[in-house]
Structure 1
């Protein structure tokens, strides 16, 4: 064995030092658990938000198509009204 290994083995660890180390390890484990739970929750929220975004995107596409159809219908009606007005003017003249 090397002399470094012997020196490390010979170093006495007090009970207080060991308890402090144990407490730090336990806190670290608890923090890790909390972070994993927070990550899982964040991933779940992200998935939920993605689903909502997909739904709203589909609704937006549908509404855009409806607006386009209404604009076309409005243009058709405008043209018909103009023709009728022109015919009325011809009758009046």
Structure 2
């Protein structure tokens, strides 16, 4: 069996590499958590805007139906007036 001798400088260099790797992993986890939070916030905003758009579409459809009903009533009144003349 052979012994491996590691110098103090080599051990310190290895220790620094491990500490840098740990720091990189920590920062990446924080960045991922921040990105996931932002995605969740954007999804919520998108859902709200989609609901608002759907509501607006419903209102437009209702207004179009009301407009059509008024148009038909006006046409009917004009037709009745034509019959009187």
With structure 1 as the length reference, what TM-score do the two structures score?
0.83
- Which of these residues, 3, 11, 20, is aligned with residue 18 of structure 1? 11
Q: Does 1:47 align with 2:44?
A: no
After superposition, where does 1:1-93 map in structure 2 within 5 Å? 6-7=1-2, 10-92=3-85
**Could you tell me how far apart the structure 1 residues matched to 2:7 and 2:78 are?**
103
**Could you tell me how far apart the structure 2 residues matched to 1:78 and 1:68 are?**
15
- Give the total of aligned pairs: 85
Q: Which runs of 4+ in 1 moved over 3 A?
A: none
Question: How large is the Cα RMSD of the aligned pairs?
Answer: 1.2
